[in-house]
Amino acid sequence: MVKRLVLMVVIAVLGVAGCAVRKDWFASGGSRADGTVQLSVTWGLFEKPVVDGAQGVALAKSKCEVWGYTGAQPFGGVFTQCNSTDYQGNCNG
């Protein structure tokens, strides 16, 4: 009985802990005139996002090249937006 209870607790903890998931950047905005590309990543409630900065720079570079620019480099900061909150106002993802 105790072994079964311990097993159930371990399974519950693993289920709540979430899984590391590789997430890809995608272009979510930008301005050809300003030479800027806005990139985003989204993830779900129990996901732990793993993002590759180099993949984001490569994506931005490819978008900039289409506009006639020769390269891209990151600048600015990070903006986060929560799309779902719990009953206490905490972000769900």
**Per-residue model confidence as pLDDT tens digits over 16-31:** 556 788 999 999 999 9
Containing structural domain, residue 60: 20-93
Listed range (6-10, 18-22, 56-60, 62-66) with the worst mean pLDDT: 6-10
- Does residue 5 sit within a domain? no
- Does residue 14 sit within a domain? no
Q: How far apart are CA 71 and CA 37, in angstroms?
A: 12
Is the pLDDT reported for residue 38 higher than 90?
yes
Q: Looking at the 3D structure of the chain, how many domains does it have?
A: 1
Q: How far apart are CA 68 and CA 66, in angstroms?
A: 5
Q: How far apart are CA 57 and CA 65, in angstroms?
A: 12
Q: Hey, is 44 helix, strand or coil?
A: coil
- Does residue 8 sit within a domain? no
- Does residue 44 sit within a domain? yes
- Does residue 2 sit within a domain? no
- Does residue 26 sit within a domain? yes
- Does residue 1 sit within a domain? no
- Does residue 43 sit within a domain? yes
